[in-house]
Chain A
Amino acid sequence: MGIVSPGFTGRRRSGPELPPGQYLTEDFPVLSAGPTPQIRPEHWEFTVTTETGEVHRWDWQAFTGLPQEQTVQDLHCVTRWSKLGTSWQGVSLDVLLEDVESAADYALVQCYGGYTTNLPVEDLLDGQAWIAHKFDGEDLAPEHGGPARLLVPHLYLWKSAKWVRGIVLSDTDEPGFWETVGYHEYGDPWREQRYAGD
């Protein structure tokens, strides 16, 4: 329920199209836990490791040679900004996971710089997730996760791991970086799943 704040009326910047507690921003804030890793595409690789330990590997050339998709998405950051209609190019996880033999329910995403985040495998499939490498038609800038980042726009942005390096599939759910320090396991912006237990 809560209380009324004496003398507060509010400016009401949040529109009806935004998840609860979010407000609109026009610029593109940067949030990460440490310095920005600088990874050259020629040194980049992406792996998918199954629960049986089988490793699938793509270098930059193989990755950019895969079928590409353009997608326009709304982004919602747990720090309360939302940015609407952002344009990306990347490879759908449906493509990357197509030939991967796995019955795993969970994915742990791993990044250059050591960041990790976890999510259910089903949230990566059916056109919901991409490994993106272009933003607004330009190569993705390092501070936004370049050369490539995960993009899972239906979850809070900390799940869309920057500087992505691989995905480990597993039968057990293992919390990632922010999930270990009190943030929500799943992170649905529309249900305001910000912190553990929300």
Chain B
Amino acid sequence: MAGTALRGRLTWRVATVSAVREETQTARTLVLDVPDWPGHLAGQHVDVRLTAPDGYRAMRSYSIASAWPSSPAGGAKVDLTVEQVPDGEVSPYLGQVIGVGDPLEIRGPVGGWFVWRPEQPGPIQLIGGGSGMVPLMAILRAAELAGRQPDVRLLYSVRRPESVLYAGELARSKSEIAFAYTREGPAGERIGRIDAEVLARSAWSPDVGATVYVCGPTPFVETVADLLVAAGHDPAQVRTERFGPSGGGR
């Protein structure tokens, strides 16, 4: 099912927006109905293609936020969560213009490295920055569907509490979740970026042998991956995904 989706020709499909969820002031989730969706692995992404009336096209990649199957009952819902980039070409369209009932062309799923498979043994460490939380949410959801809560730890770097994606669901989660607030935080919380001390306190220690997934803007991923290796994590167990294009700013 999901494995075979990696091979063969990837075709463009016309999905329909079936629901929209506001996540934060600047991010929203599009719930897509995709005919004949072949299924996906948690961590994979899709390419989205927009076409103007004169034929001009723009394409960008967006991670899939939903686990597969998306509910215990199954069903082919693909959730994308888009953080609006000021002055961006595609994200403001997905974040403001498109609405319920509108069509959206996607193809995928794509990517077979930054993924978690239910049969994969061992603990899971998720470390996200900003919209880098999206594929990690798919992994968290898939792992929880598989009953693997005790294996999962999430360390999520956000500017302020209002920037937390999926805040309600994370608050109800039984997995071990820690936040690093970089600008403002709840009273009494440390404000600052993830450093060696935060990692040591919140993440699985290197001897546990967790598979580590790091996703976010490039400088974030670069810093966190270096810290992990310096702390003794096996580089072969650290998987990274960097959200382009500029990597900075978010």
Where the two chains meet, the residues of A that have a C-beta atom closer than 8 Å to any C-beta of B are: 2-13, 21, 23, 25, 27, 29-37, 77, 79-81, 113-114, 143, 177-178, 180-182, 194-198
> Ordered nearest first, which 9 A-B pairs have the shortest CB separation?
A181-B112, A197-B9, A35-B225, A182-B6, A11-B89, A5-B50, A81-B245, A8-B50, A7-B97
Chain B contacts for A21, CB-based, 8 A: 57, 59
- Asked, given contacts A2-B51, A181-B113, whether A81 binds B56 with beta carbons under 8 Å apart, the answer is no
> Is A12 within 8 A of B56, CB to CB?
yes
Find chain A residues with CB under 8 A from B244 CB. 25, 29, 31, 77, 79-81
- Of the candidates A25, A33, A37, the one whose C-beta lies within 8 Å of that of B113 is A33
Pairwise interchain contact A30-B245, C-beta atoms closer than 8 A: no
- Return B114 CB to nearest CB of chain A, in Å: 8
Q: How far, in angstroms, from A23 to B88 measured CA to CA in the complex?
A: 12
**Chain A residues in 8 Å Cβ range of B111:** 181-182
Number of interface residues of B (CB under 8 A): 49
Inside 8 A of B7's CB, which chain A residues have their CB? 182, 196
Q: Is B146 interfacial (CB-CB < 8 Å)?
A: no
**Complex-state Cα separation, A37 to B225, whole angstroms:** 10
Across the interface, do A4 and B59 meet the contact criterion of CB distance under 8 Å?
Answer: no
Instruction: Determine whether the beta carbon of B9 is less than 8 Å from that of A25.
Output: no
B50 touches A10 (CB 8 A): yes
Q: Which residues of B contact A11 (CB under 8 A)?
A: 58, 89
B209 close to A (CB within 8 Å)? no
A194 vs B104: C-alpha distance when bound (angstroms)? 20
Closest to A14 in B: B58
User: Which one of A3, A9, A25, A33 contacts B246 once the chains associate, using CB atoms below 8 Å?
Assistant: A25
Are A36 and B222 within 8 A (Cβ)? yes
Q: State the CA gap A10–B238 with chains docked (Å).
A: 37
Can you list 5 A-B contacts (CB < 8 A)?
A10-B57, A12-B56, A36-B222, A80-B61, A182-B110
Q: Report the stretch among B131-139, B197-205, B228-236 that lies at the interface.
A: B228-236
Is B148 located at the chain interface by the 8 A CB criterion?
no
Tell me whether A2 and B49 are in contact in the complex, defined as CB-CB below 8 angstroms, given that A36-B226, A143-B222, A197-B10 are known contacts: yes
Whether B218 contacts A30 by the Cβ 8 Å rule is yes
In the complex, the answer to whether A180 meets B9 with C-beta atoms within 8 Å is no
Contacts A33-B240, A36-B226, A182-B7 known; A113 to B93 CB distance under 8 Å?
Answer: no
Is B121 an interface position by the 8 A CB rule? Answer: no
Residue numbers in A under 8 Å from B53 (CB-CB): 4, 9
Docked pose: A194 CA to B47 CA in angstroms: 11
Partner of A181, one of B6, B49, B229: B6
Instruction: Please tell me if B8 contacts chain A, counting CB pairs below 8 Å.
Output: yes
The reply to whether A3 and B236 contact each other, CB–CB distance below 8 Å, is no
Report the minimum CB–CB distance from B68 to chain A (whole Å).
Answer: 16
CB-defined contacts of A31 to chain B, threshold 8 Å: 218, 242, 244
Q: Measured between alpha carbons, how far is A170 from B246 in the docked complex, in Å?
A: 37
B193 at the A interface (CB under 8 A): no
Query: Do B103 and A34 touch across chains, with their CB atoms under 8 A apart?
Result: no
**A27 and B246 contacting across the interface, CB-CB below 8 Å:** yes
Q: A29-B246, A30-B218 are in contact. Are A7 and B59 (CB under 8 A)?
A: no
Contact of A34 with B242 in the complex, beta carbons under 8 Å: no
Contacting pair A27 B6 (CB below 8 A): no
B248 at the A/B interface (Cβ < 8 Å)?
yes
Q: Collect the chain A residues with CB atoms within 8 Å of residue B10's CB.
A: 195-198
- Say whether A34 contacts B218, CB under 8 Å: no
When distances are taken between beta carbons in the complex, the residues of chain B under 8 Å from A27 are 246-248
Complex: how many Å from CA A20 to CA B24?
33
Residue pair A34, B239 in contact (C-beta under 8 Å): yes
Q: Is B52 interfacial (CB-CB < 8 Å)?
A: yes
The answer to whether A9 touches B236, judged by C-beta atoms less than 8 angstroms apart, is no
